[in-house]
Chain A
Amino acid sequence: DIVMTQTPLSLSVTPGQPASISCKSSQSLLQSDGKTYLYWYLQKPGQPPQVLIYEVSNRLSGVPDRFSGSGSGTDFTLKISRVEAEDVGVYYCMQSTQIPNTFGQGTRLEIK
Protein backbone atom coordinates (compact mmCIF):
# COMPACT_ATOMS: atom_id res chain seq x y z
CA ASP A 1 0.00 0.00 0.00
CA ILE A 2 1.13 3.57 -0.64
CA VAL A 3 1.81 5.41 2.63
CA MET A 4 0.98 9.11 2.69
CA THR A 5 2.93 11.18 5.23
CA GLN A 6 1.84 14.71 6.06
CA THR A 7 3.84 17.38 7.84
CA PRO A 8 3.26 19.19 10.05
CA LEU A 9 0.47 17.48 11.96
CA SER A 10 -0.71 20.78 13.37
CA LEU A 11 -0.44 24.44 12.42
CA SER A 12 -1.31 27.62 14.25
CA VAL A 13 -1.53 30.58 11.89
CA THR A 14 -2.32 34.26 12.28
CA PRO A 15 -5.09 35.43 9.92
CA GLY A 16 -3.62 36.91 6.77
CA GLN A 17 -0.43 34.87 7.03
CA PRO A 18 0.47 32.01 4.66
CA ALA A 19 0.42 28.32 5.51
CA SER A 20 1.92 25.27 3.86
CA ILE A 21 1.33 21.53 4.29
CA SER A 22 3.56 18.83 2.86
CA CYS A 23 2.41 15.39 1.74
CA LYS A 24 4.91 12.72 0.75
CA SER A 25 3.98 9.38 -0.77
CA SER A 26 5.98 6.17 -0.40
CA GLN A 27 5.72 5.56 -4.16
CA SER A 28 5.29 7.76 -7.20
CA LEU A 29 1.69 8.78 -7.78
CA LEU A 30 2.17 9.19 -11.53
CA GLN A 31 -0.16 6.73 -13.23
CA SER A 32 0.35 5.13 -16.63
CA ASP A 33 -2.31 7.44 -18.09
CA GLY A 34 -0.02 10.38 -17.35
CA LYS A 35 -2.15 11.73 -14.51
CA THR A 36 -1.26 12.04 -10.85
CA TYR A 37 -4.21 11.27 -8.62
CA LEU A 38 -3.41 13.36 -5.57
CA TYR A 39 -6.22 15.19 -3.80
CA TRP A 40 -6.41 17.67 -0.93
CA TYR A 41 -9.42 17.70 1.38
CA LEU A 42 -10.50 19.98 4.20
CA GLN A 43 -12.71 18.59 6.95
CA LYS A 44 -14.35 21.32 8.95
CA PRO A 45 -15.65 20.45 12.42
CA GLY A 46 -18.78 18.30 12.27
CA GLN A 47 -18.77 18.08 8.49
CA PRO A 48 -17.69 15.50 5.91
CA PRO A 49 -14.49 16.32 4.02
CA GLN A 50 -14.69 18.70 1.08
CA VAL A 51 -12.29 18.51 -1.80
CA LEU A 52 -10.11 21.54 -2.41
CA ILE A 53 -7.65 20.32 -5.00
CA TYR A 54 -7.74 17.38 -7.42
CA GLU A 55 -4.94 15.89 -9.53
CA VAL A 56 -2.24 17.83 -7.65
CA SER A 57 -3.02 21.37 -8.67
CA ASN A 58 -6.60 21.78 -9.93
CA ARG A 59 -8.93 23.77 -7.70
CA LEU A 60 -12.48 22.49 -7.54
CA SER A 61 -15.07 25.01 -8.68
CA GLY A 62 -15.89 27.41 -5.87
CA VAL A 63 -12.66 26.88 -3.94
CA PRO A 64 -11.00 30.24 -3.17
CA ASP A 65 -7.87 30.99 -5.16
CA ARG A 66 -5.86 31.44 -1.97
CA PHE A 67 -5.60 27.63 -2.01
CA SER A 68 -3.04 26.12 -4.37
CA GLY A 69 -1.51 22.70 -4.87
CA SER A 70 1.79 21.72 -6.39
CA GLY A 71 4.23 18.85 -6.64
CA SER A 72 5.01 15.74 -8.60
CA GLY A 73 6.10 12.16 -8.16
CA THR A 74 6.19 11.66 -4.40
CA ASP A 75 6.29 15.20 -3.02
CA PHE A 76 3.26 17.46 -2.86
CA THR A 77 2.34 20.72 -1.15
CA LEU A 78 -0.84 22.58 -0.31
CA LYS A 79 -0.41 26.31 0.20
CA ILE A 80 -2.82 28.85 1.59
CA SER A 81 -1.64 32.30 0.58
CA ARG A 82 -3.54 34.19 3.29
CA VAL A 83 -5.25 32.16 5.99
CA GLU A 84 -8.77 33.15 6.98
CA ALA A 85 -10.79 32.14 10.03
CA GLU A 86 -13.02 29.86 7.91
CA ASP A 87 -9.99 27.74 6.94
CA VAL A 88 -9.84 26.00 10.33
CA GLY A 89 -10.17 22.24 10.28
CA VAL A 90 -8.18 19.17 9.36
CA TYR A 91 -6.48 18.93 5.97
CA TYR A 92 -5.92 15.53 4.35
CA CYS A 93 -4.06 14.47 1.26
CA MET A 94 -5.32 11.35 -0.51
CA GLN A 95 -4.00 9.27 -3.38
CA SER A 96 -6.15 7.22 -5.74
CA THR A 97 -3.39 6.23 -8.16
CA GLN A 98 -3.15 2.79 -6.63
CA ILE A 99 -5.70 0.64 -4.82
CA PRO A 100 -6.23 0.88 -1.92
CA ASN A 101 -6.80 4.64 -1.86
CA THR A 102 -4.86 6.00 1.10
CA PHE A 103 -5.05 9.18 3.14
CA GLY A 104 -2.46 11.11 5.05
CA GLN A 105 -2.81 11.38 8.83
CA GLY A 106 -4.29 14.84 8.63
CA THR A 107 -2.98 18.30 9.52
CA ARG A 108 -5.00 20.34 11.99
CA LEU A 109 -5.02 24.06 11.25
CA GLU A 110 -6.02 26.50 13.96
CA ILE A 111 -6.15 30.26 14.02
CA LYS A 112 -3.95 32.20 16.45
Chain B
Amino acid sequence: EVQLVESGGGLVQPGGSLRLSCTASGFTFSSNWMNWVRQAPGKGLEWVAKIKPDGSEKYYVDSVKGRFTISRDNAKNSLYLEMNSLRAEDTALYHCARLSAGYWGQGALVTVSS
Protein backbone atom coordinates (compact mmCIF):
# COMPACT_ATOMS: atom_id res chain seq x y z
CA GLU B 1 0.00 0.00 0.00
CA VAL B 2 1.30 3.43 -0.98
CA GLN B 3 1.67 5.89 1.87
CA LEU B 4 2.91 9.46 2.00
CA VAL B 5 3.02 10.92 5.48
CA GLU B 6 3.84 14.58 6.04
CA SER B 7 5.09 16.09 9.30
CA GLY B 8 6.56 19.32 10.61
CA GLY B 9 3.64 21.68 10.19
CA GLY B 10 2.67 24.23 12.82
CA LEU B 11 2.17 27.86 13.78
CA VAL B 12 4.98 30.24 12.90
CA GLN B 13 5.33 34.02 12.98
CA PRO B 14 5.73 36.03 9.78
CA GLY B 15 9.37 35.96 8.73
CA GLY B 16 9.93 32.65 10.47
CA SER B 17 11.01 29.26 9.17
CA LEU B 18 9.66 25.73 9.11
CA ARG B 19 10.79 22.42 7.64
CA LEU B 20 8.28 19.93 6.33
CA SER B 21 9.09 16.26 5.90
CA CYS B 22 7.34 13.53 3.94
CA THR B 23 8.05 9.82 4.35
CA ALA B 24 7.10 7.57 1.47
CA SER B 25 6.42 3.84 1.34
CA GLY B 26 4.84 1.32 -1.01
CA PHE B 27 6.58 2.44 -4.20
CA THR B 28 10.09 3.04 -5.50
CA PHE B 29 10.62 6.54 -4.13
CA SER B 30 14.08 6.96 -5.62
CA SER B 31 12.79 6.52 -9.19
CA ASN B 32 10.11 9.20 -9.14
CA TRP B 33 9.70 12.94 -9.40
CA MET B 34 8.13 14.25 -6.21
CA ASN B 35 6.12 17.39 -5.58
CA TRP B 36 4.78 19.69 -2.90
CA VAL B 37 1.28 21.07 -3.50
CA ARG B 38 -0.53 23.42 -1.13
CA GLN B 39 -4.11 24.40 -0.47
CA ALA B 40 -4.97 27.54 1.46
CA PRO B 41 -8.06 27.26 3.69
CA GLY B 42 -11.17 27.15 1.54
CA LYS B 43 -9.16 27.70 -1.64
CA GLY B 44 -7.97 25.68 -4.62
CA LEU B 45 -4.79 23.75 -5.27
CA GLU B 46 -1.42 25.38 -5.95
CA TRP B 47 1.65 23.48 -7.07
CA VAL B 48 4.69 24.63 -5.07
CA ALA B 49 7.78 22.66 -6.09
CA LYS B 50 9.10 19.48 -7.69
CA ILE B 51 12.35 17.55 -7.61
CA LYS B 52 13.92 15.04 -9.97
CA PRO B 53 14.51 11.48 -8.74
CA ASP B 54 18.24 12.04 -8.21
CA GLY B 55 17.72 15.55 -6.81
CA SER B 56 19.67 17.20 -9.60
CA GLU B 57 16.79 19.37 -10.84
CA LYS B 58 14.40 21.43 -8.74
CA TYR B 59 11.61 23.74 -9.82
CA TYR B 60 9.44 26.21 -7.91
CA VAL B 61 6.39 28.39 -8.36
CA ASP B 62 7.46 32.03 -8.62
CA SER B 63 5.85 33.04 -5.31
CA VAL B 64 8.22 30.83 -3.28
CA LYS B 65 11.45 31.12 -5.28
CA GLY B 66 14.35 32.17 -3.07
CA ARG B 67 12.38 31.37 0.10
CA PHE B 68 11.57 27.63 -0.17
CA THR B 69 13.94 24.75 -0.88
CA ILE B 70 12.86 21.26 -1.88
CA SER B 71 15.19 18.34 -1.20
CA ARG B 72 15.13 14.58 -0.81
CA ASP B 73 16.99 11.71 0.83
CA ASN B 74 16.41 8.59 -1.23
CA ALA B 75 18.13 6.40 1.38
CA LYS B 76 15.41 7.44 3.83
CA ASN B 77 12.55 7.56 1.29
CA SER B 78 12.01 11.13 2.41
CA LEU B 79 11.08 14.44 0.81
CA TYR B 80 11.59 17.81 2.46
CA LEU B 81 10.48 21.41 2.09
CA GLU B 82 12.53 24.05 3.86
CA MET B 83 10.44 27.22 4.16
CA ASN B 84 12.03 30.54 5.12
CA SER B 85 10.78 34.14 5.29
CA LEU B 86 7.26 32.85 5.70
CA ARG B 87 4.34 35.13 4.93
CA ALA B 88 0.67 35.07 5.89
CA GLU B 89 -0.18 34.03 2.35
CA ASP B 90 1.87 30.83 2.80
CA THR B 91 -0.75 29.59 5.27
CA ALA B 92 -2.02 26.34 3.78
CA LEU B 93 -2.21 22.57 3.99
CA TYR B 94 0.95 21.28 2.31
CA HIS B 95 0.73 17.96 0.52
CA CYS B 96 3.57 15.74 -0.58
CA ALA B 97 2.59 14.11 -3.88
CA ARG B 98 3.70 11.87 -6.67
CA LEU B 99 1.40 13.61 -9.14
CA SER B 100 1.88 11.32 -12.13
CA ALA B 101 0.44 8.35 -10.21
CA GLY B 102 -2.06 10.25 -8.11
CA TYR B 103 -0.39 9.57 -4.77
CA TRP B 104 -0.98 12.30 -2.19
CA GLY B 105 -0.38 12.55 1.51
CA GLN B 106 -2.99 13.88 3.93
CA GLY B 107 -1.00 17.09 4.33
CA ALA B 108 0.72 19.18 6.99
CA LEU B 109 -0.92 22.42 8.09
CA VAL B 110 1.27 25.52 8.10
CA THR B 111 -0.16 28.63 9.73
CA VAL B 112 1.76 31.90 9.48
CA SER B 113 0.42 34.41 11.96
CA SER B 114 1.54 36.74 14.71
Contacts and interface: CB of A to CB of B under 8 A. Distances in A.
Size class of the A contact interface (CB-based, 8 Å): 20 to 34
A102 interface: yes
A74 interface: no
B26 interface: no
Given A100-B59, A103-B45, A54 B50 contact: no
Interface residues of B, number: 20
A27 interface: no
Contact of B44 (A1, A60, A100, A105): A105
Interface string B73-100: 0000000000000000000000101011
Contact of B100 (A41, A54, A90): A54
Contacts of B11: none
Given A50-B102, A100-B60, A100-B61, 7 more contacts: A39-B99, A41-B102, A48-B107, A51-B101, A94-B45, A94-B47, A100-B47
